Amino acid sequence: MLFLVAACGDNHTAAQAPDAMTSPMTDASATPDALSIPVGLTLRDDTYAIDVTADGTTAVFERVDTSTATIVFYDTVRGVASDRTTLPDPAVDLATGVSNDLRVTAEYDNPVGSGIWSDATSAWLTLPNPHATGCDVFHGGAFDISGDGKTATGLLYNGCSTEAFRWTDTGGAGTTTPLELLGAPTNGSAKSDRGSVISRDGNVIAGFAAHGEADRTPAMWDANDHGTLLDPTNTQTPGEVLAIDADGGVLAGTLGNQAFAWTVADGFITLPMFDGADPAASSFANATSADGALIFGEIGDGFSLTPPTAVIWKRSGATYTVTTLADICTAAGISVPTGFGFTNIVGASADGHSIVGTAASDTEFKTFVLRLP
DSSP label at residue 135: B
Residue 213, strand partner residues: none
- Tell whether the torsion through CA atoms of 58, 167, 121 and 149 is positive or negative: positive
In angstroms, the CA 18 to CA 250 distance is: 27
Nearest of 97, 91, 93 to residue 112 by alpha carbon: 93
Q: Which CATH number fits domain 32-371: 2.130.10.10, 2.40.160.50, 3.40.47.10, 3.40.1280.10?
A: 2.130.10.10
pLDDT score recorded for residue 305: 59
CB contact at 8 A, 91 and 78: no
Instruction: Report the mean per-residue pLDDT for the chain.
Output: 90
Query: pLDDT at position 322, please?
Result: 98
Give the count of beta carbons closer than 10 Å to the beta carbon of residue 222.
14
Asked if the model's pLDDT at residue 7 lies above 70, the reply is: no
* Domains in the chain: boundaries: 32-371
Span between the terminal Cα atoms of the chain, in Å:
30
At 16-57, the pLDDT tens digits run 333 332 333 333 344 446 668 999 999 999 999 999 999 999
Task: Tell me the mean pLDDT in the region 134-139.
Answer: 94
Cut 0.85: pTM above it: yes
pLDDT confidence tier of residue 278, bands split at 50, 70 and 90 = confident
CA distances from 65 to 10, 71, 123 (A): 21, 12, 22
In the predicted model, is pLDDT for residue 120 greater than 80?
A: yes
The DSSP call for residue 317 is T
pLDDT at 304: 63
Helix (H/G/I), strand (E/B), else coil: 116: strand
Is 156 in contact with 143 (CB distance < 8 Å)?
Answer: no
- Segment 92-99 shows an average pLDDT of 97
The whole-number pLDDT of residue 303 equals 66
CB 250 within 8 A of CB 288: yes
pLDDT at 10 over 50: no
| Predicted pLDDT of residue 307 | 79
Over 50: is that where the pLDDT of 343 sits? yes
Q: How far apart are CA 50 and CA 370, in angstroms?
A: 14
Between 110 and 9, where is the model more confident?
A: 110
Q: Is pLDDT above 70 for 328?
A: yes
The secondary structure of the chain in percent helix, strand, coil, rounded to multiples of 5, reads 5, 50, 50
Grade residue 318 by pLDDT with cuts at 50, 70 and 90: confident
